[in-house]
Amino acid sequence: MQRSPVRDLIVGVFVFFGLVSIGYLSIQVGGLYYSGPSGFKLVATFDEVGDLKPRAAVVIAGVKVGQVVSIELDDILRARCELDIDPRLGRELDVETSAAIMTAGLLGEKFVALEPGGADEMLESGDEIGRTVSALSIENLVGKFVNDTGLEED
């Protein structure tokens, strides 16, 4: 079989794009990415975060606008989540903005959903979101249903 430079070039290009694709997919699955300079920092405190993890999405109206940077316990043993928001959107969030931990689908990943309010005063970087809704726990709901059947004892 003769060597063909054109065939060798085509195979080389194909292998190169295959390796680039594998590298790209590895980075995406690992959750690693460069989002540019650090954005607008906000803090939200929740009673229960469920299965929320660092690098979870922060969304407004279903559009990803940031991510959860860290989750720690505060002084009164509540979960303190630091959120990194796109700096272009940070100045659009007012002091009545609320944060809720939601689930993507029935068994999907947890994420933080922000809902802007209607106040004139805007949040500054580093401020805390005052209105939060904790994660819904299936175990707590089942426990309430099983233990509280609605029967009253006399």
* 98-109 pLDDT per residue, tens: 999 988 877 778
Using one digit for the tens of pLDDT, what is the confidence trace for 115-136? 998 888 888 888 889 888 887 7
SS3 content of the chain, % helix, strand, coil (to 5): 25, 30, 45
Q: What is the value of pTM for the model shown? A: 0.69
